[in-house]
């Protein structure tokens, strides 16, 4: 087995285990047994348990990032459709790969040693990207006025929460419905438009 194949195999095994049992409850022993390799082989590819988790996050971040496309400037309707498409892509990606969702939305949170910096960095970049989209949207008159960073936060929050609750099993809905409702919140908010 080539070096790269083995490394990939270990990452896959780790994803499944971290997703199913969590970071701390997964031991190197679990990983190597599931991968049917010797203890030393693991350390041939990763310096530590922390490192394989790090590299796994890198990998998952890339996949998530790749699943969304930048919004291209065009008529408002088309742009809204692209936003909606991105939401749908994210939901689909994470729901089709449950371990990935669990690791990103559950396991990577609350890890002081490993994930904190990574997550901060990841969300920092994600938010920057949404920020930019929001700002541009405001200039184009598509997005309502307001502090772009906080609007981004709200967008991200709705999405993450919907996915998270599905993952931990509190609520469960068809992806189509989830996307529709999130998009409705984005378009119209929650309250009926009355004069307050």
Partner DNA sequence: AATGAATGAGGTTTCATTCAT
Partner DNA sequence: TATGAATGAAACCTCATTCAT
Interface positions with a copy of itself (CB under 8 A): 21-25, 76-77, 80, 106-113, 116, 119-120, 123-124, 127, 134, 137, 141-144, 146-147, 149-151, 153-162, 165, 168-171, 173, 177-178, 181-182, 184-194, 196
Query: For residues 167 and 98, is the Cβ–Cβ distance under 8 A?
Result: yes
List 41, 67, 95, 118, residue binding DNA (CB under 7 A): 41
Distance in Å, CB of 44 to DNA, minimum: 5
190 binds, among DNA, a copy of itself, none (CB under 5 to 8 A by kind): a copy of itself
Q: Say whether residue 109 binds DNA (CB under 7 A).
A: no
Smaller CB distance to DNA: residue 44 or 66? 44
Q: Shortest CA distance to 183 belongs to which of 74, 89, 69, 70?
A: 89
Compute the distance between CA of residue 111 and CA of residue 75 in angstroms, rounded to an integer.
Answer: 43
| DSSP 3-state of 109 | coil
Compute the distance between CA of residue 106 and CA of residue 177 in angstroms, rounded to an integer.
Answer: 23
Distance in Å, CB of 108 to a copy of itself, minimum: 7
Query: For residues 130 and 155, is the Cβ–Cβ distance under 8 A?
Result: yes
13 binds, among a copy of itself, DNA, none (CB under 5 to 8 A by kind): none
Q: Say whether residue 176 binds DNA (CB under 7 A).
A: no
Q: Say whether residue 142 binds DNA (CB under 7 A).
A: no
150 binds, among a copy of itself, DNA, none (CB under 5 to 8 A by kind): a copy of itself
Compute the distance between CA of residue 62 and CA of residue 100 in angstroms, rounded to an integer.
Answer: 12
Burial of 153 (0-12, 13-18, 19+ CB in 10 A): middle
Stretch in the footprint of DNA (CB under 7 A) among 31-39, 62-70, 120-128, 140-148:
31-39
Burial of 94 (0-12, 13-18, 19+ CB in 10 A): buried
Q: Which contiguous run of DSSP H or E holds residue 78?
A: helix 76-96
Q: Say whether residue 38 binds DNA (CB under 7 A).
A: yes
Distance in Å, CB of 46 to DNA, minimum: 8
Burial of 17 (0-12, 13-18, 19+ CB in 10 A): buried
Contacting residues toward DNA, per CB under 7 A: 1-3, 6, 27-29, 37-44, 47-50
């Amino acid at each position: 087995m080539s070096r790269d194949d083995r490394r990939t195999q270990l990452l896959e095994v780790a994803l499944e285990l971290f997703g199913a049992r969590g970071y701390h409850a997964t031991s190197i022993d679990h990983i190597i047994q599931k991968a049917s390799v010797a203890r030393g082989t693991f350390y041939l590819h990763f310096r530590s348990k922390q490192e394989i988790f790090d590299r796994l996050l890198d990998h998952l971040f890339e996949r998530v990032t790749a699943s969304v496309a930048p919004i291209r400037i065009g008529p408002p309707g088309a742009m809204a459709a692209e936003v909606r498409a991105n939401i749908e892509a994210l939901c689909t990606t994470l729901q089709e790969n449950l371990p990935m969702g669990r690791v990103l939305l559950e396991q990577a949170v609350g890890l002081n040693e490993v994930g904190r910096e990574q997550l901060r960095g990841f969300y920092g970049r994600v938010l920057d990207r949404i920020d930019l989209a929001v700002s541009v949207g405001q200039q184009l008159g598509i997005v309502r006025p307001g502090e772009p960073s906080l609007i981004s936060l709200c967008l991200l929050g709705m999405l993450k929460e919907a996915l998270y609750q599905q993952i931990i099993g509190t609520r469960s809905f068809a992806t189509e419905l989830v996307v529709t409702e999130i998009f409705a919140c984005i378009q119209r908010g929650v309250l009926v438009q009355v004069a307050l």
